[in-house]
Chain A
Amino acid sequence: MQIFLYLIIMLIGAFIGSKNFIPEKFENKLSTLQNMCLLFLLGIMGYKIGINNDILTNFHRIGFKAFLIASLCIAFSILFVKLSYTVGGGHKNDN
Chain B
Amino acid sequence: MTIKIIISVGIGILAGIFQRNDLIIENLNSLIDLGLCLLLFFVGIDIGKNKGILGELKKMGGKICILPVSIVAGTLVGGMVASLFIDLTLVETSAVSAGLGWYSLSAIELSKHSAELGSIAFLANVCREIMAIIFIPFIGKHIGHHETIAAAGATSMDTLLPIITKSTNSSVAVVSFFTGVVLSSLVPILVPMIMSFQ
A residues apposed to B, CB below 8 Å: 3, 5-7, 9-19, 22, 27, 30, 33-35, 37-52, 54-56, 58-59, 62-85, 88, 90-91, 93-95
- A9, A27, A41: the one contacting B41 at CB < 8 Å is A9
- Whether B12 contacts A10 by the Cβ 8 Å rule is no
Q: A11-B44, A47-B24 are in contact. List 14 more A-B contacts (CB 8 A).
A: A6-B177, A34-B39, A44-B31, A47-B13, A48-B12, A54-B122, A56-B17, A65-B86, A66-B96, A70-B125, A73-B124, A78-B147, A80-B71, A84-B66
10 A-B pairs closest in CB distance: A50-B16, A13-B44, A46-B12, A17-B48, A80-B74, A77-B74, A66-B123, A76-B78, A70-B127, A72-B78
Residues in A neighbouring B123, C-beta threshold 8 A: 55, 58-59, 62-63, 65-67
Query: In which size bucket is the chain B interface?
Result: 35 or more
- Whether A39 contacts B8 by the Cβ 8 Å rule is yes
- Whether A78 contacts B184 by the Cβ 8 Å rule is no
- In the complex, which of the residues A62, A67, A72, A75 has the most CB atoms of chain B within 10 Å of its own CB atom? A72
- Whether B120 contacts A77 by the Cβ 8 Å rule is no
- In the complex, which of the residues A5, A15, A47, A50 has the most CB atoms of chain B within 10 Å of its own CB atom? A47
Instruction: Please name the residue on chain A nearest to B1 by beta carbon.
Output: A35
| Cβ of A88 to closest chain B Cβ, rounded Å | 6
